[in-house]
Chains A and B, each alone.
Chain A
Amino acid sequence: MTAGVVAAEDRELTPSSEQDEGFARLLRGVQLWHLFLAGVSTWVLVNIAAGLWALPASTRTALGIVGGVGLALNLLAVVLIGRRVRAGRTLSFAISVLVALFAFVVLFVQLQIAEGLDVFAGAFQRAFPALLVVAVGVVWWVVARRIHKRLLPPGTHLTDEGVSQGAVRATKWLQWAGLAVVGIGLVWWLILMRAQRALLFFWDAISADPVRSVAALLLLAAAWWALRTVISDRSARYFEVQAAQAEALTGWLYLSPNLLGFLAFFAGPLVFSMIISFYDWDGITDAVFVGIDNYRQTLALSVASSAEALPPGYTEVFGLPFSDSVVGGTDPLFWKSIANIFLFLLVAVPGAVLSALFLAVMIHTGYRGTKGFRAVFFVPAVAGVIGVTLIWKQMFNATVGFINWGITAAGQLANVVLPGDPFSDRIEIGWLSDPNVALLAVCIVFVWSQFGFNTVLFTAGLQGIGRDLYEAAELDGCNAWQQFRNVTLPQLRETTFFVTVTTVILALQLFDIVYALNQPNPVGHPDNATLTPVVYIYQLGFQQDAFGRASAVAWVLFVIIFIFTLAQFRAQRSDVEGTR
């Protein structure tokens, strides 16, 4: 195999000595880059060690770790690249990505891009007409280009026989005209958006701290150059990397924004919340380590013969059946939220799943008009939860809400046919104020908001069931119910499992509906009847500044959701194995 010869999937990229020498010189630049980064890391470490920077202890520790790790890894990268070890290429890649990201963030802040985008969003409406002109120009250009391609297909020439030269030239001019419209639109847009001030804006931003701006720009450029160098084909050949491995590195490059975002905004806070759950922390002052006290305070239970006999600090949570004994807890509100959410699961999940299954089957049967309802059913899934919940809140109003008005009207109708007028003239169910029905109101809104999406999933599942199964069932004499029971349900097993698991997880994380329905009363109103674990976490964290306790409750909730999901997976697996 010679250099540069590609063997489909698994080609070897063999080096040539000439290319090696040329690329080795480039790589010396990359090594210098890492030596520079090692130098910066050392500078950070020296400043930290000498106490030259007045920083909080946590920041100092974090910077010290970054400096130490940065120094070690960059020196390692220099050595590995020098020895032509493949890992050196990967390490250099990872370091350069992180440095590029860092430099990008610094530039983003320095140039006030976020503020600019905010303003951009505001000014967008004003400049929208110009954007329409741009859109017209783009469409014009695309259409002209297609006609041009049709008149002059690839492989043909203007001088070929049968090619209309005049038409081809005309379409070419039309393409340029389309681009001119795009250009005019863009210029108009820039004028409307007052783009002439952008340069001044950037200049002001850079002038505020020119050293930082230029340093960030140079750092970004250098990191980008190093990245391009180490992931290039020449680099792959030099390090004798297989094509698949070379492509994998490129894949990591594309994946890195999402991956780093995941680490920074999901995994990072997750780990942080785990750590902080062992601290007493108000979110502002220094955290105090309390061990497992937050978990103990959340979960501690005690059984006593009566509420009065409970140990100090314990409040009755519930009474044991068939005895006078009671169970007390140090955090009765947590247990109240757990009881609420389980009750909610019992009602809301079957409601959201079964109603969706019923609707999906109805749609799938193809009765006249049902297809048109598909979009209607999906509306709740795309509607903003808070806005929709506020509408529900109006409808739930005990005195002037539509729901009680409808119930009252139905009652009056029933009074016409039933003896003794059993329904009163005015039925005022306190949907949002009566602790006995408040959770039901939440269930109704949740089911309404979920069933549309679930219906789509079930509909997709139904479309995957072969028609032959139903035909076989018909031949066996099955009626519609038997077909549903013995064909549809078993075939929808995996869809049902997915729908149920996702609905359970969403239900366990219930927050927004409760929050919106309760406003302006405290969340959990009335009488904590709608207090859910996530609402409780919010109360603890953001209203009582007990972020340690809130984190502990969050992790307890995580364990509950994990157990639920695991149990459902196990049940599903044993179900599948049982049918085999």
Chain B
Amino acid sequence: MREDQDLRIRHGVVAGVVLALALTGCSSTEEGTDEGTSGASEPAASAAAVDLRWRTRPDNQAEADVYKSISDEITAKNIGLNLTYEAGNSEGSPYQDKLKTELSAGTAPDVFWIPGTDVADFAKAGLILNASEVASAAGFNAADFYPGPMDQLQVDPATGQKADGFLWGVPRDVSTFALYLNLDLIDQAGVDDPRELAANGEWDWAAFEETAKAITDLGGGVKGFGAGGWWANWGYFVNSAGGSFFNEDRTACNLDSDESIAGISYFQNMYEQGYGVAFGEDPEPVYKSGKLGMFINGRWATPGTREITDFNWDVAPLPTGDAPGKNWLFWGAYVINADTADPAAAWKLVQELTSLEVQNKVAELGANIPSRTSADAITQFLTYTPPENNQAFVDGIQNDPVAEGPLWNGNWPAFDKAAGDEVTALMNGSISLDEYESTICEVTAPAFE
């Protein structure tokens, strides 16, 4: 009898705990998570508000928090949107992998950010909405944004060319490369400051090589320059030499043109001379340890670089080749899920998320540059220091940049993989420059089939 009573008490305790779990498991949805994600903490919205989920790929937790607060503020404006923000993982391709899986399963958010290079793949697969109609109805003006990304967002997938009646999204922000400098090493090497050389129009490839050599000559493992192994790093030198990845209408490879070869040859030579952190090694820890003079990286590296206290740093424009400018204009866009229940509401959200006010809030954190071209946006961006020389980024996006492009008449991931493998083989000495020249467009050809 007593055993039965004990058993009943035990069952009672367990049942109590389980009930508590069940109740509390679903209890906090209004008060929300201080912990980061999701719709747990949405402020009250008007009764007629449309429920929408949206997602970005923030660069860090601070940015995720800002997006979360932006989401809550838009909901609180009572403009008919009841938002749930989902922070995607901060870097790496799994962001897109997960998104595609969710799109395939019908569980993706209504509005999401994707990198510019992926827009074509998503549009051609019918995963994102052509927002042209809802945008026109809302009076959207494409000229408010940088033309490079907007051109790529208004392409007819059937022809691969810009056409009326197509709008696949709106750029969330833009970015570009700059040269992150270790001013102490440059000073020790006794060379001219790249910022001054750039101001005088003397910051060219020869000066870059001379500076890298002088810094490397300091010895003790110090390197002149570092660059990542991915396409944009070697790609800048291809573009800057007057070459390009693709032909004029982006239907074939152009990496074997004389200019493209000149660019990649210069880049290869810099490594062969020993001026760079080994190609494919991550230069960031080397830079942060104070052993790297110049580091090619985007605006997204600024928040991490701001943590450096061991040496003085700033940024300079990339060195100029035969073709002036030609820095990359990186971008990503807010796009609308093709299966969203309310395209008009989704478009309203896109407009809210790409307003200057929202863009400035994100840009203030340091990782991004507003995608709007207005003077206000630029003026405000220049105040977000350090680095002191934010003008280097503005020059990068305004001086005839090359917008990173989706491959409307091909498969960008396949092109990236094939070209990347070949460039890596060249940099590692597995193939010669002549072999590279004869094979690069052959190996990338399947990406256009």
Which A residues contact B (CB, under 8 angstroms)? 111-113, 115-120, 122-123, 125-127, 134, 138, 141, 145, 154, 179, 182-183, 186, 189-190, 193-199, 201-202, 205, 282-285, 393-394, 397-400, 426, 428, 430, 432-435, 519-522, 525-528, 539, 542-545
Contact = CB atoms under 8 A, between A and B. Distances in A.
Contacts of B9: 141, 179
B293 to A, nearest CB: 12
Contacts of B230: 520-522
A275 B281 CA distance: 40
Contacts of B38: 115, 118-119
B280 A197 contact: no
The 6 A-B residue pairs whose C-beta atoms are closest, nearest first, are A116-B26, A193-B24, A433-B280, A198-B23, A122-B35, A120-B25
Interface stretch (B120-128, B205-213, B236-244, B326-334): B120-128
Interface string B17-39: 10011111111111101111111
24 contacts: A116-B27, A118-B37, A119-B27, A120-B24, A122-B33, A141-B9, A141-B13, A179-B9, A186-B16, A189-B20, A189-B24, A193-B20, A198-B22, A198-B25, A201-B29, A205-B26, A284-B100, A285-B126, A400-B291, A426-B220, A435-B430, A520-B228, A520-B282, A527-B428
B425 A284 contact: no
Contacts of A285: 125-126
Nearest to A282: B125
Given A284-B100, A525-B280, A190 B26 contact: no
Given A284-B127, A544-B413, A400 B21 contact: no
Contact of B33 (A123, A154, A283, A539): A123
A488 B125 CA distance: 61
Nearest to A117: B25
Contact of A115 (B30, B39, B93, B97): B39
B420 interface: yes
Interface string B408-419: 000101101100
Contacts of B279: 433, 526
A399 B91 contact: no
A120 B6 CA distance: 30
A197 B428 contact: no
Nearest to A283: B104
Nearest to B277: A399
Given A186-B17, A432-B280, A284 B103 contact: yes
Contacts, number: 195
Contacts of B34: 122, 126
A126 B228 CA distance: 42
B428 A400 contact: no
A393 B40 CA distance: 36
A543 B115 CA distance: 14
Nearest to B13: A182
Contacts of B22: 198
B223 interface: yes
B421 interface: yes
Contacts of B424: 525-527
Contacts of B3: 154
A300 to B, nearest CB: 16
B33 A197 contact: no
Contact of B27 (A154, A198, A545): A198
Contacts of B277: 398-399
Contacts of A539: 417
Given A182-B16, A194-B24, A198-B23, A520 B91 contact: yes
A119 B33 contact: yes
A544 B411 CA distance: 8
Contacts of A526: 229, 279-280, 424, 428
Given A284-B103, A520-B228, A399 B23 contact: no
Nearest to B21: A120
B247 interface: no
Please classify how large the interface on chain B is, using the bins under 10, 10 to 19, 20 to 34, 35 or more: 35 or more
A364 to B, nearest CB: 40
Contacts of A112: 26
Given A113-B25, A521-B228, A526-B280, 20 more contacts: A120-B25, A120-B28, A122-B36, A123-B28, A123-B33, A127-B24, A141-B9, A182-B16, A189-B24, A190-B23, A205-B26, A283-B101, A284-B125, A397-B282, A398-B278, A430-B278, A433-B278, A522-B417, A528-B421, A543-B97
B115 to A, nearest CB: 13
Contacts of B36: 122
A527 B40 contact: no
Interface in B77-104: 91-93, 97, 100-101, 103-104
A397 B30 CA distance: 46
Given A182-B16, A430-B280, A543-B93, A122 B291 contact: no
Interface in B95-119: 97, 100-101, 103-104
A198 B26 contact: yes
B286 interface: yes
Contacts of A282: 125
B264 to A, nearest CB: 16
Nearest to A425: B219
Contacts of A119: 25-29, 33, 38, 40
A544 to B, nearest CB: 5
Contacts of B281: 397-399, 430, 432-433
Nearest to A543: B413
A543 B101 CA distance: 12
B17 A134 contact: yes
B420 A522 contact: yes
A89 B421 CA distance: 62
Interface string B66-79: 00000000000000
A427 to B, nearest CB: 10
A115 B228 CA distance: 39
Contact of B30 (A111, A126, A134, A197): A197
Interface string B263-294: 00000000000000111111001100101100
Contacts of A138: 13
Contacts of A426: 220-221
A528 B425 CA distance: 9
Nearest to B229: A521
